[in-house]
Amino acid sequence: MSNKTWFITGTSTGLGRLMTERLLARGDNVIATLRKPGALDSLIAQYGEQLHVLLLDMTDTASLRRVVQQAFGHAMRIDVLVSNAGYGLFGASEEVSDAQIDRQIATNLTGPIQLIRAALPYLRQQGGGRIVQISSEGGQMAWPNFSLYHATKWGIEGFIESVAQEVAPFGIDFLIAEPGPTETNFASGVDMAEPMACYDNTPAGEVRRGLANGSIAINGDAAKTVEAIITATDADAPPFRLALGSKAYHSIRAALNTRLDVLEENRAVAMSVDKGE
C-alpha cells in the first residue's frame, strides 16, 4: 500500500493525536491542525517532514479557508481529510448560556461544514478523495444534558447525508465515525453549564450524578477506536457510518428501532394526508 497524505483537525490530544501518531508510525504523511502551538513538537522532532503542523481555530471561517488552501498547497494532493476537532457542552438546555450555545455550534457544526466546503474544490480538482467525520453515538441518539452537543452531531450527519450525494460523481466519499463513550480526555474538556436545582430530581439530574460519580460506563478503548477508523478508511469501499464500541452499537440500534416503531404506528396517518386521486 502506497503512503497516503492525511489532513486531520484537532490533533493536540485524544483521538486526533492518537491517529496522527499511528499514521506517522506506518509511514504516512500528516498535515495536522491544532489551536495552540507546541503540542506536537515531539512528533515533529521524531518524524520531520512527514508531519506538517498548521494552527487552526475551527470557529474562524476565514482562517479555516486559508489553512485548507495552505494544506493543499503544501501537499499538492490530500487523500483523506479527517474532521475531528470538537468538544461537548453539558447541561440541560435551560441551563446553558447563549455564549456556550454559540461556541458549541460554531465548533462542532459550522466549523466542520465550512471545513468540508473549503476542501471540496481541491478534492474535485485532484479527482477525488475521502472525508472522515468524527461524530459520535450522539449523532443517532440522545442523552439528557447534551442537547446542544446532540444538535451539532445530528446536524453534521444530516449535512453529510446530503453533500455525499452531491459530490459522489466527483469521486469524493465519506465515512461518519460514531464512537460511544471512549477513554480519552473528552470529559476533561466538556464545557459545564451552571446547574439549576429544579433539575436535580429529573433525568438530567440523574445523568449529571452519573457523570460525576463514574457510574456511567466508559468502555471504549481509544487506541482500538483509532485503529478501526484507519482500517475502515483504508478500505476500497468504507461503510458510510461506523458505530464504534458495544455501547454505541446497542444505543444506536435501540434508538433506530424506537424511531421505526413510532413511524409504523403512525403509518395510516402518514398515508392519509396525500392528495386524493
Long-range Cβ contacts of 196-201 (<8 Å, 24+ apart): 196/92, 196/94, 196/95, 199/92, 199/94, 199/95
Q: Does domain 5-272 have CATH number 3.40.120.10?
A: no
pLDDT digits (tens, 9 = 90+) for 27-38: 999 999 999 899
* pLDDT, position 190: 84
pLDDT digits (tens, 9 = 90+) for 53-62: 999 999 999 9
Torsion sign across C-alpha atoms 176, 177, 181, 186: negative
Helical segments of 106-236, H only? 111-125, 147-167, 203-213, 222-234
Q: What is the pLDDT of residues 241-262, one digit of tens each?
A: 999 999 999 999 999 999 999 9
Is the pLDDT assigned to residue 1 strictly greater than 60?
no
Give yes or no for residue 228 having a pLDDT over 80.
yes
Q: What is the grid cell recorded at 259?
A: 424511531
- What mean pLDDT is reported for the chain? 94
Residues tagged active-site:
135, 149, 153
Backbone Cα Rg of the chain:
20
Contact 78, 122 (CB under 8 A): yes
pLDDT digit string, tens, across residues 112-140 = 999 999 999 999 999 999 999 999 999 99
Where exactly are the structural domains of the chain? 5-272
Q: Quote the DSSP letter at residue 58.
A: T
pLDDT at 215: 73
Beta bridge partners of 220: 182
With a cut of 70, say whether residue 203 has pLDDT above it. Answer: yes
